[in-house]
Amino acid sequence: MKRTLTVILVLALVGCTYIPQVTPYRIEIQQGNYLNQEMLSQLKPGMTKDQVRFILGTPLVTDPFHVERWDYVFTHSPANATQSEKRRVAVFFTDGKLSRVDGDVVPTTAKPAPPVVK
């Protein structure tokens, strides 16, 4: 009886070494305003705050001491990745009109349309 129990216990312990590593479940986390190059390329100097809000959405951070500056922050942590993606874009206004955009993602200049071949 003791011998049978010992054999079963040894087999159970040996069997445990063949179980693959168990890792905790991780979810994908996205926070803030997702901004891409296309959205920022739509911004033009002189746009009103409402027009900028329509294109980019409501800013994540509005500072009561710097009313003419809006900060858009975005972080994305994929489910099983070690690195997370972080972006920050600041939009500056002068007298309620867009004056400049600063940050990680910068708008590109408009590319000329390719010629149409007939």
Name the residue type at position 116: V
Q: What is the pLDDT of residue 104?
A: 78
- C-beta of residue 31 within 8 angstroms of C-beta of residue 43: no
Architecture of domain 28-103: 2-Layer Sandwich (3.30)
Distance CA 44, CA 105 (A): 15
pLDDT tens sequence across 26-55: 788 888 888 888 888 898 999 999 999 999
Instruction: Give the DSSP letter of residue 39.
Output: H
Q: Tokens representing 35?
A: 């901004």
Q: What's the pTM?
A: 0.64
**pLDDT tens for residues 79-116?**
777 778 888 889 999 998 999 998 876 555 545 545 55
What local confidence, expressed as pLDDT, does residue 94 receive?
92
pLDDT confidence of residue 15? 65
What is the reported pLDDT for 93?
Answer: 93
What is the residue type of 60? L
Report the candidate in 57, 50, 47, 43 with the shortest Cα–Cα distance to residue 94: 47
**Residue spans per domain, the chain:** 28-103
Q: What is the pLDDT of residue 98?
A: 92
